[in-house]
Amino acid sequence: MSQYDLLIIGAGPGGYVAAIRAAQLGLKVACVEKEKALGGTCLRVGCIPSKALLDSSELYEKATGSMKDRGIIAKSVELDLSKMLSHKDRVVTGLTMGVESLFKKNKVTRLIGTARFTNPNTVVVEHDGKSEEVTAKNFLIATGSVPSSLPGIEPDGVNVVTSTEALAFTEVPKKLVVIGAGYIGLEMSTVWRRLGSEVVVLEFLDRILPGMDTEIAAEAKKLFEKQGLVFNLGCKVTGTKMAGKQVEVMIEGKDSIKADKVLMSVGRKPATDQLGLDAAGVTLGQRNFITVNAHYQTNVPNIYAIGDVIGGAMLAHKAEEEGIACVEHIVTGYGHVNYNAIPAVVYTSPEIATVGKTEDQLKTEGVPYKTGYFPFMANGRAKAMGTTEGKIKFLAHAETDRVLGVHIIGPHAGDLIAEVVLAIEFSASSEDIARTCHAHPTLAEALKEAAMAVEKRAIHF
Ligand code: NAI
């Protein structure tokens, strides 16, 4: 039987980062992972492979169309989907093996198998019919989440799929129906539309991207429609059935719709099933998320949990921050995450990036605010790049001028938002950004101008 200071269950961005940090802090750490490759959903079947496909499909779309306007005429462009998928797989393998070598470098013990608590101080790790008992002073659950499904629909992985299979279609579906206009729905719709699918997105609500700033989400919908995506809002999907080789999707009160493939992207749920939480005495809260206190401690004092499994934004970087804060608190007594400074990015084209409060939230909370806008149309670099769609919306406190939230739809929005995250982390004002020199010509100047627009002194718009 092995005894560790800390046993981490799950090697996604939350778990593996926590393991490395704990080892740096001098703990004897092991990390249990049931999959062969480390890195969790993010590296294996989420963020990373989807970004590889988003990037490749963007190149393809440029080569087959938009480069012409810039005087680059590529004749007979062909799609080799299997090569595109191999590139994605190589990226994933490289990164997951990278985590393995980081574990070796930091002396984190990697255990292969499924971990199940038998009591609050012991887990059994099962793999290939064999099992091993492991004890530890503390445990950290970082098991993440799995795709949710809808009543009456069970993805079969072939015709009705989750994001995992939609990252590996071996042929471009002629018609793809996507259920849910959230992060996954929009990113995967973008990939397959660019590669030639006719894509219809069915969304339950009367808007896309719930939770994002309403105005920015509405602009995103317009731009995506211009690109060819079809949105059917207010659609409650009630079931699917095979109709010959196609899938028929039933919608309450509306005509059904047929497609070659159907992607279910209606959210994700915490992965707690196999953990034996009853044996450990850990209680679950709403919608089966693990309840934790401010230090990520469950109701059992030596068992902690972080990442998707505790709820909140289901984002890799949020899990990483929690993992570090949790182990630092265990070792040093300090550790904190500023949830107001967690950015979110949708990697469509244009990208959408957001941090801090939305305008809707400020209205609900009765916080007085000022707004500044700047369109990429008025930014020299965006013009030079031919990517002038979108804008920046800046929200600052009406009295203190403190940055409250920034919402960007436009080129490289995901990179631009980092400056705002730092500003929020340092409690900066819009004036701080407005008076900071930004290199010319850069997209970042648009952020400075949006900050200047808060006091109606933008120069170029
Ligand atoms: P989501 O929560 O972003 O969106 C789900 C959508 O499905 C919502 O718009 C919801 O209204 C809709 N929906 C729910 N029930 C429905 C029904 N019966 N019929 C039609 N529509 C319905 O969830 P998604 O896209 O599955 O992503 C899961 C998680 O993964 C998210 O929490 C997200 O944070 C994370 N993620 C993050 C990415 C990123 O950071 N770029 C990329 C992909 C996923």
pLDDT in tens, 347-395: 999 999 999 999 999 999 999 999 999 999 999 999 999 999 999 999 9
Q: Please give the distance, rounded to the nearest whole angstrom, from the Cα atom of residue 249 to the centre of ligand 1.
A: 18
Residue 183's H or E segment, with its range, is helix 183-194
Tell the residue nearest (CA) to atom 4 of ligand 1. 182
- The rounded distance, in Å, linking the Cα atoms of 124 and 204 is 42
pLDDT of residue 82: 98
Sort residue 277 into left (φ over 0), alpha (ψ -120 to 50) or beta. Answer: alpha
pLDDT digits (tens, 9 = 90+) for 151-207: 989 999 999 999 999 999 999 999 999 999 999 999 999 999 999 999 999 999 999
Is the shortest distance between the CB of 307 and ligand 1 below 6 Å?
no
d(CA 332, CA 354): 32
Question: What is the C-alpha R_g of the chain?
Answer: 23
Torsion, Cα of 223, 229, 230, 235 (10° steps): -90
Whether residue 336 lies in the annotated active site? no
Spatial separation of the C-alpha atoms in residues 222 and 379, rounded to whole Å? 21
**How far apart are the C-alpha atoms of 324 and 21, rounded to whole Å?**
6
Look over the chain and give the mean of its residue pLDDT values, rounded to a whole number.
Answer: 97
Mean pLDDT of 264-285: 97
What pLDDT is stored for residue 152 in this prediction? 86
Please check the confidence at residue 10 and state whether its pLDDT lies above 80: yes
For residue 125 and ligand 1, the question of a CB distance below 6 A is answered with: no
Q: How far is the CA of 80 from the centre of ligand 1 (A)?
A: 29
| Residues contacting 291, CB < 8 A, separation 6+ | 283, 284, 285, 298, 299, 310
Q: What confidence tens digit (pLDDT) does each residue in 424-449 have? A: 999 999 999 999 999 999 999 999 99
**What strand order describes the sheet that includes 391-397?**
344-346, 351-356, 403-410, 391-397, 369-375
Tell me if residue 442 falls in helix, strand or coil.
Answer: coil
- Ligand 1, atom 23, residue with closest C-alpha: 267
How does DSSP assign 142-171, residue by residue?
---EEE---TT----SSSEE-HHHHT--SS
pLDDT at 36: 97
Could you tell me the CA-to-CA distances from 459 to 31, 240, 322, 398, 431 in Å, in that order? 53, 54, 40, 21, 14
Domains with residue ranges and CATH for the chain:
2-147+269-337 (3.50.50.60), 160-266 (3.50.50.60), 341-453 (3.30.390.30)
Tell me the residue ranges of DSSP E strands in 265-360. Answer: 268-270, 303-305, 344-346, 351-356
Of the given ranges (70-74, 422-426, 455-459), which has the lowest mean pLDDT?
70-74
pLDDT digits (tens, 9 = 90+) for 148-165: 999 989 999 999 999 999
The Cα–Cα gap between 235 and 194 comes to 24
Q: For the chain, how are helix, strand and coil distributed in percent, rounded to 5? A: 40, 25, 35
What mean pLDDT is predicted for residues 292-316? 98
- Establish whether residue 235 lines the binding site of ligand 1, counting it when its CB lies within 6 angstroms of any ligand atom: yes
Q: Is pLDDT at 238 greater than 70 in this prediction? A: yes
Tell me how long the chain is: 461
Cis peptide before 147 (omega within 30 of 0): no
pLDDT at 1: 64
CB proximity list for 26: less than 8 A, separation 6 or greater: 331
Nearest to 26 by CA among 315, 262, 334, 330: 330
Amino acid at 363: K
Residue 69 in this model has a pLDDT that exceeds 90: no
Cβ of 187 less than 6 Å from ligand 1: yes
Average confidence (pLDDT) over 143-149: 97
